Amino acid sequence: MPEADDLAALGTELAPLSRPLWRLLGPLAPLAVRTALGCALAGYVSLALGIGRPYWALVTAASLYQANLTLTWGRGVQRVVGNLLGVLLFAALVPLAHTGEVALVLCCLALNFGAEALIGRNYWLGSVCVTPMALLITEFTGFQEPGRLITERVVDTLVGALVGLVAAVAVPDRRWQRVVRTERTGPRTLAATGRSQNPHPDQRTGDTTEGVRP
């Protein structure tokens, strides 16, 4: 059982949670508005274009948003490049997948393994595996015409990326932009932070060095 002192410390840590809910959720408001606006507009535009799967555009828009506009733009480029390359990979795999149900399942398993292995290293590289896997999964209920799937995926990717970027520009988050800017301009070496006050001898040359080279 916790001691009385532990309970007192716990109460102190939980004190900020007693603030009004609108204050706790306030910092998340720009992100929520940006995501809701971008996803809704992307879905409506996709529907207006007659695309059968508008949720692909919605998911694309939702995947873009980062701490600032520069990072959001970079994520958008990665998403578009990864999806377009993934569509090409789907076009290469679909003849094999259409040979039978077992081949379809094996292709999806291989792509899922590739996505899990690559998405943590590079987002666009992981998207190259995620995109054909998503297209092949739609064929579990029956083989479909590849040209239509490819067209819908490409259009939804472009619509979601463009509309998502427009929403990011329309609803900026100044608070997170200041945090990112401060982190980028901060010290990047031990010498710059003042943690290394004395020169350290280089074991190879005997020279002294101040801090760590960037």
SS3 (DSSP) at 157: helix
SS3 (DSSP) at 208: strand
Indicate the DSSP class of residue 198: S
CA angle 144, 148, 151 (to 5 degrees): 145
Q: What is the pLDDT of residue 192?
A: 47
Average pLDDT over residues 172-181: 57
48 is written with which tokens?
Answer: 């207006």
How confident is the prediction for the chain on average, in pLDDT? 78
Residues 109-153 pLDDT 10s? 999 999 999 988 889 999 999 999 999 998 888 888 899 999 999
| Of the candidates 147, 97, 153, the residue with the CA atom closest to the CA atom of residue 127 | 153
Q: What is the pLDDT of residue 110?
A: 95
Burial 186-195 (b: 16+ CB within 10 A, else e): eeeeebeeee
Residues 6+ apart with CB under 8 A from 100: none
Position 191 pLDDT exceeds 50: no
pTM (2 decimals)? 0.67
Average pLDDT over residues 70-81: 92
What percentage of the chain has pLDDT greater than the value 90?
43
Q: What is the pLDDT of residue 156?
A: 93
SS3 (DSSP) at 49: coil
Least confident piece of the model among 22-26, 98-102, 139-143: 22-26
Average pLDDT over residues 49-68: 88
Give one DSSP letter per residue of 149-196, joined into a string: HHHHHHHHHHHHHHHHHHHHHHS--HHHHHHHHHHHHS--SHHHHT--
Position 154 pLDDT exceeds 50: yes
Length of the chain counted residue by residue:
214
Position 45 pLDDT exceeds 50: yes
- The C-alpha atoms of residue 115 and residue 123 are separated, in whole angstroms, by 9
Least confident piece of the model among 71-75, 86-90, 205-209: 205-209
Position 165 pLDDT exceeds 80: yes
Residues 6+ apart with CB under 8 A from 73: 165
- The C-alpha atoms of residue 41 and residue 35 are separated, in whole angstroms, by 10
- The C-alpha atoms of residue 50 and residue 140 are separated, in whole angstroms, by 23
Q: What is the pLDDT of residue 76?
A: 93
SS3 (DSSP) at 200: strand
The CA dihedral of 165, 166, 170, 172, to the nearest 10 degrees, is 10
User: Crossing angle, helix 123-137 and helix 69-97, to 10 degrees?
Assistant: 40
First to last CA, the chain: 49
Least confident piece of the model among 36-50, 60-74, 195-209: 195-209
Q: What is the pLDDT of residue 109?
A: 95
Q: What is the pLDDT of residue 144?
A: 85
